[in-house]
A and B are shown apart, each in its own frame.
Chain A
Amino acid sequence: MTEMIPLDSSNEGETLTNEVLLNLGPQHPSSHGVLRLLMQMEGERITNMDVIIGYLHRGTEKLCESFTYTQIIPLTDRLDYLCQPSNNLAYVLAVEKLLDVEAPERAQYIRVMMAELSRISGHLLISGALPMDLGAMTTLLYVMREREMIMDLLEMATGARMHSSYCRVGGIREDLPTGFTERMHEFCHIFRQRIVDYETLVEKNRIFLKRTKDVGVITAAEAIDWGLSGPCLRASGVDWDIRRDNPYEIYDRLQFEVIVREGGDCYDRWKCRMDEMRESVTIIEQCLALMPRDGPVIVDIPQIAFPGDKEEVQTSMESLIHQFQLSAYGFKVPAGETYVSIEAPKGELGFYIISDGTEKPFRVGIRAPSFVNLQILLPIAKRCYLADVIAIVGSLDPVMKEVDK
Chain B
Amino acid sequence: MSDSALLSTLKAAYADYIVTGADTNDGFPCLEIQHDNIATFCAELKQDSTLQFDFLSDICGVDYYPQAPRFEVVYHIYSIPFKYRLRLKCKLAEGESIPTVTSVWNTANWHEREAFDMYGIVFSGHPDLRRIYLWDGFEGYPQRKDFPLRGYRDEYNPFGEEPPATATDQGKNDDEGWSR
Contact = CB atoms under 8 A, between A and B. Distances in A.
A-B interaction: yes
Interface of A: 53-54, 57, 59, 61-63, 66, 97-98, 224-227, 238, 240, 245-246, 334, 336-339, 341, 348, 350, 352, 354, 363, 365, 367, 371-372, 375, 379, 404-405
A227 B24 contact: no
B83 interface: yes
A337 B143 contact: no
Contacts of B167: none
Contacts of B99: none
Which of A59, A61, A365, A405 has the most chain B CB atoms inside 10 A of its CB? A365
B57 A341 contact: yes
Contacts of B87: 339
B58 A238 contact: no
Given A227-B105, A339-B26, A350-B57, 5 more contacts: A54-B135, A61-B118, A227-B106, A339-B28, A405-B133
Nearest to A52: B132
Contacts of B142: 59, 62
A66 B142 CA distance: 14
Contacts of B74: 352, 365
A238 to B, nearest CB: 7
16 contacts: A53-B132, A54-B133, A57-B133, A62-B143, A97-B26, A224-B54, A224-B55, A224-B80, A226-B106, A240-B80, A339-B26, A350-B57, A350-B58, A372-B107, A375-B109, A404-B133
B45 to A, nearest CB: 14
B17 to A, nearest CB: 21
Contacts of B143: 59, 61-62
Nearest to B55: A224
A337 B83 contact: no
B110 interface: yes
A336 B24 contact: yes
Which of B60, B85, B142, B149 has the most chain A CB atoms inside 10 A of its CB? B60
Interface residues of B, number: 32
Interface in B122-145: 132-135, 142-143
A227 B57 contact: yes
B106 to A, nearest CB: 5
* 8 closest A-B pairs by CB: A227-B107, A365-B60, A54-B133, A338-B26, A367-B58, A57-B133, A336-B25, A225-B106
A339 B26 CA distance: 8
A375 B58 contact: no
Contacts of B60: 352, 363, 365
